[in-house]
Amino acid sequence: MIKVASSDSDDIPVGCLRWRHIGQLRTDSAGDLVFPAAPAVPGIYRFMIYDDTTLVAGYIGQAAKSLAGRFRLYRSRGRRPSYPLERKTTSRNARRLICELASGHNVHIDLLDDRIICPDGQVFVLDLADKACRSKLERQLIQMLSETKIDVLNRQHHLQWRAVP
């Protein structure tokens, strides 16, 4: 049986969530961010920053309408950041990603799979078009990421940004 998991679902098996790697972030000859192809659908994504093979930092975000559109926004904010950076997550992260790539780090981009297959055979389909469901999952995933001891770039879990109201 397939269950549709929405915002009112308390039984979403977060431990069974899967990420689908779509590629690595790079910069072009002008120094602008270049993202791998992403679908124009709502979803949850993550940036995982590696120093060689060691995971050093991560960020989890969501796109309300289009993952492709969200990544275009990062590209444009890398060129023209909005200030103040402490309040502008996309600009702050775009600048950080550019700096990470310039220092030789790799940035992997993954998308949350909207289909969950549990070990017991249960199948869930996540309604990532539902804002409440997306936001709930994003918060849970950020919390899980913050327990890994890497640098979490999400403002609410990043020491540098916690004091900002």
**What does the pLDDT average to over 57-72?**
96
Q: Give the per-residue SS3 of the chain.
A: CEEEECCCCCCCCHHHCCEEEEEEEEECCCCCEECCCCCCCCEEEEEEEEECCEEEEEEEEEECCCHHHHHHHHHHHHHCCCCCHHHCHHHHHHHHHHHHHHCCCEEEEEEECCEEECCCCCEEEECCCCHHHHHHHHHHHHHHHHCCCCEECCHHHCHHHHCCC
Q: For the segment 138-161, what is each residue's pLDDT rounded down to a tens digit?
A: 998 999 999 988 999 997 654 444
**CATH number assigned to the domain comprising residue 25:** 3.40.1440.40
Structural domain boundaries enclosing 24: 2-162
Domain count, the chain: 1
Q: How far is Cα of residue 25 from the mean position of the Cα atoms in its chain?
A: 13
pTM across the whole model? 0.88
Q: For the segment 76-108, what is each residue's pLDDT rounded down to a tens digit?
A: 888 887 777 777 888 889 999 999 999 999 999
- Of 43, 20, 14, 47, the closest CA to residue 124 belongs to 14
**pLDDT the model gives residue 82:** 77
* Contact call for residues 60 and 93 (beta carbons, < 8 A): no
Q: How long is the chain? A: 165
Residue 76 neighbours by CB under 8 Å, 6+ apart: none
